[in-house]
Amino acid sequence: MSCRAKYTIAIEDCRKRVRGRGFAAVGHSGGMNTTSEHDRDLAAKLRSLSIEPAAFKTEPPDRQARRRVIPGAILALVATASLAVALLYRPETLERIETVLAGLISKDEITISVDGTDRPAASPIRALPSDTPTKRGLPTREVTGSGYVVAPDIATVFSKYEGRIVAVEVEAGDRVVPGQVLVRLDDAGARFALQGAEIARQSAELALAAKTIELGQARSSLKRTERLAGRDAMSAQTLEEAKTAFDAAENAALQARQDVAKADLDIDRAREQVEALTVRAPISGTVTRLTAHVGDTVLSREDSVRENENLLAIADMATMVIDADVAEANIALMRSGLRGEAVLDGFPDRPFAVEVSKIAPMISREKGTVTLRLSLSSPPSDMRPAMAARIRLLVGEAGDSTDHQQGAER
């Protein structure tokens, strides 16, 4: 038995005792109310200790007010949940959730029980499963690599013939055009050879003139002999000798002409060697390296190439590219036209766009990389060849499929 029940029984027992004493007093006095002052005080105390419901009437709270307050609280809670969802999903998903809330949440979803307690109806909003597809694009993959700035159109200048440098007409960084004089050399042997060829040609011309005169005499002698032989005034043997002499003179004249032609060729060769001592620019561009100095003796081109002793280098800065290496594991993702960005170590705060133009046909066995040639878009104006560069290419499956589809349609 609980404490409350025991307390109630004790109170009832005291009340019965008070009533009994009152009845006894009435019977003893002949029906008169002879209740003592002590009994009245005891009865008043018992009434104050009673735990029975009070006599006054309690009014329940207004149900209409509760119906108005509770839906408002539920809507505020749902709005807060929608804001949290908006932070995690894209705007399209947020609009869909707001549409569901607007169509499904109403006053009818809050039910009031008969006993005055509120019970919210089952919520129609369910959490999106983790595998629910969204409108967001597929994640992209970032492929990085490193390489160097390269000038494809670059010319390394050598001296064709041996000689001593007497003048250097350019400096590193100068812009040059085809045919512009770069370095002047001097070679006494080449100059003497040209003079000797010119003298030999003069001798050949004199010999040709002499042979031409002899040929004319032989022709005249042959004609006279033929007239006399026609009159039977000259023997057949004499006529035969005249023909032989003419043929010999004609051959000698032809040989003299060949000697003159050979002399002309020797002159051209000697002149070309002398002219080659003046080194000229083969292409237009910028002098990127200059190793020629006045007073140096340079070797011929064959020996210079073997010894790697060039005079200077010219690069066309307008057509520079980047040759970068990426891991061999990414070769399946590489294709021409793939875009990204590059940044030079010399200008880390000036990135620029790049595009894959070529993929090397060979893999580097030592490094395990494949080399990409990247065309540049708006690179730094003061970019120079051989500058170190880092690249970043963004490869997305969705983007790739779209590009392939467009390429197939074209």
Q: Domain check: are 285 and 173 in the same one?
A: yes
Place of tokens 């980047």: 322
Phi/psi at 182 (nearest 5 deg)? Answer: -110, -55
pLDDT reported for residue 179: 93
Give the C-alpha separation, 136 to 147, whole Å. 34
- For 140, the token pair is 């992209």
Q: What is the model's pLDDT at position 229?
A: 80
Same domain, 169 and 304: yes
Q: Which of 344, 293, 350 is nearest to 320 (CA)?
A: 344
Q: What is the pLDDT of residue 78?
A: 60
pTM reported for the whole predicted model: 0.52
Q: Do 179 and 304 reside in the same domain of the chain?
A: yes
What's the total number of domains in the chain?
A: 5
| Residues 332, 389 share a domain | yes
Does residue 131 lie in a domain region?
Answer: no
pLDDT at 302: 81
- Residue 242 lies in domain: 188-272
- Do residue 368 and residue 237 come from a single domain? no
Q: Do residues 206 and 249 share a domain?
A: yes
Convert 372-409 to b/e letters by CB count within 10 Å (16 or more is b): bbbebeebeeebbbebebbbebebbeeeeeeeeeeeee
Query: Alpha carbon of 42 to those of 16, 24, 47, 186, 367: distances in Å?
Result: 12, 17, 9, 146, 108
Q: Are residues 16 and 39 in the same domain?
A: yes
356 lies in a domain?
yes
Opening angle at CA 108, ends 107 and 111, nearest 5:
105
Q: Do residue 310 and residue 162 come from a single domain?
A: yes
Residue 100 lies in a domain: yes
Do 159 and 295 reside in the same domain of the chain?
Answer: yes
- Residue indicated by tokens 């064709």: 160
My answer on whether 292 and 325 are in the same domain is: no
Rg of the chain (C-alpha set): 59
Could you give the CA distance from residue 99 to residue 92 in angstroms, rounded to a whole number?
11
pLDDT of residue 2: 55
Last residue of a domain, one of 254, 272, 290: 272
90 and 229 belong to one structural domain = no
At position 57, the amino acid (one-letter code) is: K
User: How crowded is residue 138: how many other Cβ atoms within 10 Å of its Cβ?
Assistant: 11
Write the DSSP string, 264-312: HHHHHHHHHHHHHTEEE-SSSEEEEEE---TT-EE--HHHHHHHT--SE
Q: What is the dihedral of CA 339, 344, 345, 350, to 10 degrees?
A: -100
Digit-by-digit pLDDT tens for the chain (410 residues) are 555 555 556 556 656 654 555 444 434 444 444 456 666 666 666 565 554 444 444 445 455 544 555 555 566 666 666 555 555 444 555 455 555 445 544 444 434 333 444 444 443 333 334 443 444 455 678 899 999 999 988 899 999 999 999 999 999 989 999 999 999 999 989 999 999 999 999 999 999 999 999 899 888 888 888 888 888 777 888 888 888 988 999 999 999 999 999 999 999 999 999 999 999 999 999 999 999 999 999 988 888 888 788 899 999 988 899 999 999 999 999 999 999 999 999 999 999 999 999 999 999 999 999 999 999 999 998 898 899 999 999 887 544 444 444 444 44
Indicate whether 144 belongs to any domain. no
178 shares its domain with 289: yes
**How far is it, in rounded angstroms, from Cα 131 to Cα 129?**
5
Q: Look at residues 213, 316, 222, 207 and name the one whose alpha carbon lies nearest to residue 263.
A: 207
Which tokens sit at 30? 């002949």
CA–CA distance, 252 with 264 (Å, rounded to integer): 19
pLDDT at 139: 60
Residue 176 within any structural domain of the chain: yes
Dihedral angle sign, alpha carbons of residues 128, 141, 340, 407: negative
